[in-house]
Amino acid sequence: MVTPGATPGQLPAVTPLITGMLPNMFNFTAPTQFNPLVMQPQAMTQQATRHARRVYVGGLPPTANEQTVAIYFNQVMAAIGGNTAGPGDAVLNVYINHDKKFAFVEMRSVEEASNAMALDGIMFEGAPVKVRRPTDYNPSLAAALGPSQPNPNLNLGAVGLTPGSAGGLEGPDRIFVGGLPYYFTEAQVRELLESFGPLRGFDLVKDRETGNSKGYAFCVYQDLNVTDIACAALNGIKMGDKTLTVRRANQGTSQPRPEQETILLHAQQQVQMQVHSAVENIYFTK
């Protein structure tokens, strides 16, 4: 059938039914509501930063549950000024292992997780809890994701913690020093540790009520290259009736590199002499 006005042998011109109908039907000009190309990078970012956004909380009382832990950490993070990702709660998720009395608390940002590390030793339902990095924490990757240290301006006094007591004590080179005689003063422990070099951070853990030493401390050296040397030289040293346990706090024991062996041997001799001198002085002054 040929329409009026049409030339035989040619297709008639067809007027579109509705102008712009095809673009609107298939939505070529705007993304649809579900767009995996947009959502996938966000999901990948969440997964990539998860190890740096979680904190380990140990020593929980038996009454603790996911809700009470989340509420508590939201409150103390707000109290110290640790919520840096904007208004709202810092905690996204809490997983509790009731048998072993620990939890993983997932924060919404890397910076807020680092701020939470300053809460180590805080009292939760009458018990002091340990706040640490989880075992899957990767310091090298985390360094590119955000701050790895707590903000130095946090108001720790608002939650009963001593401001600056653990300053500079985070990271893979944090050293645990256990088995200290209870009568060793902070100055004496620091002097022993500084025989390997100046400290960037130091904390002799004390009883909150009596102020007496609990027999262990944490430290970080300014020169991170001496970390393994100090651990190997001090570990196993006899101090009075005690034996020191000295190791990296977050990664367990580690061995010095071969090129450090000579330095280590000399350091062990010097430390042994210093320890004997310190112990003799303490007993002499008693």
Is there a single domain that holds both residue 143 and residue 81? yes
The CA distance from 13 to 17, in Å, is 12
CB-CB contact of 178 with 156 (8 Å): no
Give yes or no: residues 144 and 199 share one domain. no
Q: Are 187 and 266 in contact (CB under 8 A)?
A: no
Examine residue 83 and state whether it is found in any structural domain, yes or no. Answer: yes
Q: Are residues 126 and 181 in the same domain?
A: no
> Considering Cα of 124, then 94, then 56, then 82, what sign does the dihedral take?
negative
> DSSP 3-state assignment of 206?
strand
User: In this structure, what token pair is assigned to residue 208?
Assistant: 């909150």
CATH number, position 194: 3.30.70.330
Q: What is the predicted pLDDT for the residue at 106?
A: 96
The answer to whether residue 8 sits within a structural domain is no
Give pLDDT, residue 259: 45
What integer pLDDT is reported at residue 202 of this predicted model? Answer: 82
Which sign, positive or negative, has the C-alpha torsion 220, 225, 226, 231? positive
Tokens of 227: 């970390």
Tally of domains within the chain: 2
Residue 221 in contact with residue 200, Cβ under 8 Å? yes
Give a yes or no: residue 166 inside a domain. no
Whether 190 is in a domain gets the answer yes
- Is the same domain home to 55 and 155? yes
Domain membership of residue 43 (yes or no) is: no
Domain that includes residue 91, residue range: 50-159
Q: Do 132 and 208 fall into the same domain?
A: no
Looking at residue 21, its pLDDT comes to 41
Would you say 237 and 275 are in contact if contact means Cβ atoms under 8 Å apart?
Answer: yes
DSSP string, 57-107: EE---TT--HHHHHHHHHHHHHHHT---S-SS-SEEEEEEETTTTEEEEEE
HSE toward the beta carbon, residue 224, CA cutoff 13 A? 8
Q: Is residue 277 part of a domain?
A: no
Residue pLDDT, tens place only, 247-261: 988 754 444 444 444
Residue 233 sits in the same domain as residue 144: no
Give the pLDDT confidence score for residue 276 in this predicted structure: 53
- Cα–chain-centroid distance for residue 84? 16
Residues 137 and 68 reside in one and the same domain: yes
pLDDT at 40: 45
pLDDT of residue 274: 56
* 139 and 220, same domain (yes or no): no
Last residue of a domain, one of 159, 192, 209: 159
Structure tokens given for 191: 């002097």
Write down which residue in 132, 159, 186 finishes a domain: 159
Q: How many CB atoms lie within 10 A of CB 13?
A: 8
67 lies in some domain: yes
Residues 124 and 206 occupy one common structural domain:
no
Say yes or no: 185 and 219 in one domain. yes
Do 239 and 179 contact (CB within 8 A), yes or no? yes
Q: Is residue 168 part of a domain?
A: no
From 104, 127, 159, give the residue that closes a domain. Answer: 159
Query: What residue type is assigned to position 108 of the chain?
Result: R
Do residue 59 and residue 148 come from a single domain?
Answer: yes
Name beta bridge partners: 213: 206
Say if pTM beats, i.e. exceeds, 0.85: no
Residues 119 and 188 in one domain: no
**pLDDT tens for each residue of 159-211:** 877 654 444 555 678 888 999 999 998 889 989 999 998 887 788 888 767 88
Tens digit of pLDDT at every position of the chain (286 positions): 455 555 555 545 444 444 444 344 334 344 444 444 443 445 557 788 898 999 999 989 899 999 999 999 999 999 999 998 889 999 999 999 988 889 999 999 999 999 999 898 788 888 778 898 998 888 888 888 888 888 888 888 888 776 544 445 556 788 889 999 999 988 899 899 999 988 877 888 887 678 888 898 888 887 888 888 999 999 999 888 889 999 988 754 444 444 444 554 555 555 555 555 554 554 444 4
